[in-house]
Chain A
Amino acid sequence: SAVISQKPSRDICQRGTSLTIQCQVDSQVTMMFWYRQQPGQSLTLIATANQGSEATYESGFVIDKFPISRPNLTFSTLTVSNMSPEDSSIYLCSVEVSGGNTEAFFGQGTRLTVV
């Protein structure tokens, strides 16, 4: 497995502002993903963070709203832009470990509340 550090763990933000969430892994990983989990719901994949290139977004998610960076094999950021109360959710970083059995492991998540 891998040790995944995600921060901040929680935040309360004003509508119209942006928040950047960081995900740091203790080893190089092949794949990094960002998920959203709305209250009482399951996980929805936002995008795959690609090292050195633009992220691959899922249907319903766009780069202008959720810009993602992945400058190297151990670090990624997700920004939630121009926030509204509907963005209140838990955001989760997930990784697949290089040479592993393709299982995905999760960071502890960021609980975002937009007021």
Chain B
Amino acid sequence: QKEVEQNSGPLSVPEGAIASLNCTYSDRVSQSFFWYRQYSGKSPELIMSIYSNGDKEDGRFTAQLNKASQYVSLLIRDSQPSDSATYLCAVKRYSSASKIIFGSGTRLSIRP
């Protein structure tokens, strides 16, 4: 089982709709969760971080965390063509290594 799992997609969503991206993780001691956006040929860009159960909203983005289910999601409201990118879920656990583990990414395509 991979430490961080995502559906690779592509996920196609019409412009203006809600895009829902999902991620599960295997290590229960994980404490920090991140969503990165990566455009083709570019480096990952942090768009959301979440540390406690529940929802966290930032503009059109909402991150949701459920530690009991080991599940984290990202909702993008009013999807725009500029949201078309690969979205990487990342998880950090507090250990001596303190490293971040990335999922394989979900490719999102917003169709006009």
Check if A31 is an interface residue, CB within 8 A of chain B: yes
Interchain CB contact under 8 A, A102 and B97: no
**Residue in A31, A94, A101, A106 whose CB lies within 8 Å of B98:** A31
Interchain CB contact under 8 A, A104 and B97: no
Interchain CB contact under 8 A, B32 and A41: no
Check if A77 is an interface residue, CB within 8 A of chain B: no
User: In the complex, what residues of A have CB within 8 A of residue B88's CB?
Assistant: 42-43
Interchain CB contact under 8 A, A103 and B34: yes
Interchain CB contact under 8 A, B46 and A104: yes
Q: State A56–B95 Cα separation when bound (angstroms).
A: 13
Interchain CB contact under 8 A, A33 and B49: no
- The dominant DSSP class at the A interface is strand
User: In the complex, what residues of A have CB within 8 A of residue B34's CB?
Assistant: 103-104
User: In the complex, what residues of A have CB within 8 A of residue B101's CB?
Assistant: 45
User: In the complex, what residues of B have CB within 8 A of residue A101's CB?
Assistant: 49, 51
Interface residues on A, range: 20 to 34
Interchain CB contact under 8 A, B97 and A48: yes
Within 8 A of A (CB), among B58-85: none
Contact string, B78-112, partner A, CB cutoff 8 A, digits 1/0?
A: 00000000001010100001111111110000000
Interchain CB contact under 8 A, A103 and B49: yes
User: In the complex, what residues of B have CB within 8 A of residue A107's CB?
Assistant: 43
User: In the complex, what residues of B have CB within 8 A of residue A43's CB?
Assistant: 44, 88, 102
Within 8 A of A (CB), among B18-41: 32, 34
Other contacts beyond A48-B97, A103-B34, A109-B43: 18, CB < 8 A: A31-B98, A33-B99, A42-B102, A42-B104, A43-B88, A45-B101, A48-B99, A90-B43, A101-B51, A102-B32, A102-B98, A103-B46, A103-B49, A104-B90, A104-B100, A106-B44, A108-B42, A109-B42
